Amino acid sequence: MKKAPLVHVVGHQCPDTDAVVSAVIAARLLARTRPEADYVPLMQGVANPQTAWLFAEAGVPLPRIRSDVRPTVGEACHAARSLTADRPLGEALDLLHEHGYSIIPIVDAEGRLAGVIGHALPDSRYLTHFNLEDFLGILVTLPELVSGLGLVPLNPAAERAANAPEASPDAAGAFRLHPGGPAPQPGNILLSGAVPDAAATATRAEAAALIHADCTEVEARAWTATSATPAYLFEGSLMALVTQLPRAIPVGRVMSLRPPVAGPDDLLEDLRSLFVRTPHALPVVDPAGKLLGMISRREALQPPRRGLVLVDHFERTQTVRGWEDAEILQIIDHHRVGGLETVEPARVDCRPLGSTASILTLRFEEAGLVPDAAEARLLLGALVADTLLLTSPTTTPTDRALAPRLAALAGVELASFGREVLSRNDGLATETPAALVTRDLKEFSRGELRFLLGQIETVDLALLHEPRALALRDALDAARQRAGAAFALTMVTDVLSGVSRLLLADPDARRARHLLEGEQPATGVERPIVSRKKQLVPLVLERLSTYRP
């Protein structure tokens, strides 16, 4: 069955609640309205406490963390047809021939990869070109011959042999043809055509078994009924019997051990050099060695282009690694139009609302659909988080109209639920400075100048005492240096009073004074702003426009 095209749905780096919720809800909505693809939501980092709490409240699992959408082995591989080590070689050869496989993986009882077998493997090319007599009792035993070749037991001695404990591997001897071959010896297996006295010859020689061919079952039973030698019938010619003897060998005895493998999270581009040296497919295994599938040369070197839906961001610097090689199908956002460029036309849904969750709520209505209670709770939580319970200047009349409708669908009281959502993001007193400043830190640019803007939410600005503020500023400067940015500025916002303190890390003291319109106090510069998008970004861009180095 052909795989559905894979489409990743992902928000911005340092994900906040709106970014994570929007990825999950957009993936769900697209799956209902455009079911021809497989929509997989992602988040580019660990969920903050507010987001984790909201998803737990809604009973919805958080999406997978992933910040790189370059194709992986797990996304490109196909289901594998495998065999256990006790299956006959003939079964493996038939699969290789009938389906055009390059190799067949061999697994143990728990599904772990034990080895592989195939025509393209250097140590497997002898499989149909050796003398089985040399390996009888080492590679194959009599019971395995009976099973692997589908031999029909002809007499009571054969029935008893089938039910007896399996002989030791070296109990059987070489094959002998009758008539025409060397005289059989004790322990040999006698191969005979339609020769009535073959059973007597086998008994005299104390042969381990007799296998008849080129005759009917009725004839063979009549010739061997009273023989003490286990007798069997191969339903075909004697020549076919001789040539098919190797097919009875259990694959576990001739498979290649320790083959090269790939992991599901390996990047396809990292396999290209390996496939130059490896002409066959590779087994795909998890860290415990369990077989997950196979990846062929074509799948690795010519993967289908995957789709990408970006939510809650429009900046190239905030999106996932590998976006250039994906097909951006949609951008759903409520921020300014940033620097992303697409090769093909993409559907862009950018609306001046308080949250991307608000846009997705409207898209439910536009599609004639209604979010279920869990989806409504996620959407409301994201709307409340981004609009600071409808108090942010980014809040629009549309947001105010949507919030109570979502609350009704979610079965919650808007004000109390909103206050709980906001309180869940207050780590000002408990989280490490590094975690706080990087949790919601985004990169922006003006011309060639790159800078970072962040936001930390609290319900009590008194927690931002001088030692805490200085520690946050040091952590902010460390983040700036790691990113190679010119400066980093974060706003510590009291979501209840509507006031923020600005903390700036900028090695250029003159530019720092210009940005803050004066010296920076130890606990930051207080401003009556609460929105990074609507207030902080325009403020910084305006100050930069008037700065002369």
* Token pair for 527: 């401003």
- Residue among 360, 216, 267 at smallest CA distance from 70: 267
Contact criterion met (CB below 8 Å) for 391 and 500: no
pLDDT at 71: 87
Going by C-beta distance under 8 Å and a sequence separation of 6 or more, which residues neighbour residue 120?
Answer: 102, 103, 279, 280
* Token pair for 483: 């990113």
Going by C-beta distance under 8 Å and a sequence separation of 6 or more, which residues neighbour residue 368?
Answer: none
Q: How many other C-beta atoms lie within 10 A of the C-beta of residue 145? A: 24
pLDDT at 340: 67
pLDDT at 173: 55
Q: Which amino acid is at 256?
A: S
* Token pair for 121: 């493997």
Contact criterion met (CB below 8 Å) for 347 and 387: no
Encode burial over 521-538: b for 16+ CB neighbours within 10 A, e otherwise: eebbbebebbbbbbbbbe
- Output phi, psi for 331, to 5 deg: -130, 120
Contact criterion met (CB below 8 Å) for 210 and 233: no
Residue appearing with tokens 């988080």: 385
d(CA 165, CA 142): 12
Q: Give the CA radius of gyration of the chain.
A: 36
Residue ranges of alpha helices (H) inside 225-315 are: 238-244, 272-277, 297-301
Angle between helices 509-516 and 537-545 (to 10 degrees): 120
SS3 103: coil
Contact criterion met (CB below 8 Å) for 358 and 334: yes
d(CA 526, CA 544): 19
Name beta bridge partners: 177: 191
pLDDT at 170: 40
* Token pair for 437: 């400043």
pLDDT at 279: 73
d(CA 433, CA 438): 9
Q: Which amino acid is at 239?
A: M
Angle between helices 373-387 and 17-33 (to 10 degrees): 140
Name beta bridge partners: 115: 106
Tell whether the torsion through CA atoms of 282, 286, 291 and 293 is positive or negative. negative
d(CA 289, CA 276): 24
* Token pair for 330: 């949609």
Specify the DSSP element, H or E, that contains 202.
helix 198-204
* Token pair for 446: 């003006």
d(CA 50, CA 426): 8
487-494/307-311 β-pairing: unpaired
Going by C-beta distance under 8 Å and a sequence separation of 6 or more, which residues neighbour residue 103?
Answer: 96, 116, 117, 118, 120, 121, 259, 280, 281, 283, 294
- Residue among 38, 17, 43 at smallest CA distance from 27: 38
SS3 458: strand
Contact criterion met (CB below 8 Å) for 288 and 122: no
Longest Cα pair distance anywhere in the chain, in angstroms? Answer: 114
| Domains along the sequence of the chain with CATH | 6-69+306-423 (3.90.1640.10), 76-127+254-301 (3.10.580.10), 132-252 (3.40.1390.20), 433-545 (3.10.310.20)
- Output phi, psi for 118, to 5 deg: 180, 160
Q: What length does the chain have?
A: 549
Going by C-beta distance under 8 Å and a sequence separation of 6 or more, which residues neighbour residue 227?
Answer: 155, 157, 199, 200, 202, 203, 210
Angle between helices 17-33 and 356-366 (to 10 degrees): 20
Going by C-beta distance under 8 Å and a sequence separation of 6 or more, which residues neighbour residue 332?
Answer: 22, 26, 309, 310, 311, 312, 349, 350, 356, 359, 360, 363
- Residue among 529, 494, 366 at smallest CA distance from 422: 494
Return per-residue pLDDT of the chain as tens, 549 residues: 567 788 999 999 989 999 999 999 999 999 999 999 999 999 999 999 999 999 999 999 999 999 988 888 888 888 889 999 999 888 888 888 888 788 899 999 999 999 998 876 655 554 545 555 555 555 777 888 888 899 999 999 888 876 665 543 344 457 777 777 778 888 888 999 999 999 999 999 999 899 999 999 999 999 999 999 999 999 999 999 988 888 888 888 888 888 889 999 988 888 877 777 777 888 999 999 999 999 988 888 777 778 999 999 887 778 888 888 888 899 999 987 766 666 677 788 999 999 999 999 999 999 999 999 999 999 999 999 999 899 888 899 999 999 999 999 999 999 999 989 988 888 887 889 999 999 889 999 998 999 999 999 898 898 999 999 999 999 999 999 999 999 999 999 998 888 999 999 999 999 999 999 999 999 999 999 999 988 999 999 999 999 988
d(CA 26, CA 464): 37
SS3 516: helix
Complete DSSP assignment for 112-172: BEEEEE-TTSGGGTTTTSS-GGGGBTTTB-HHHHHHHHTPEE-SHHHHHHHHSPPPPTTS-
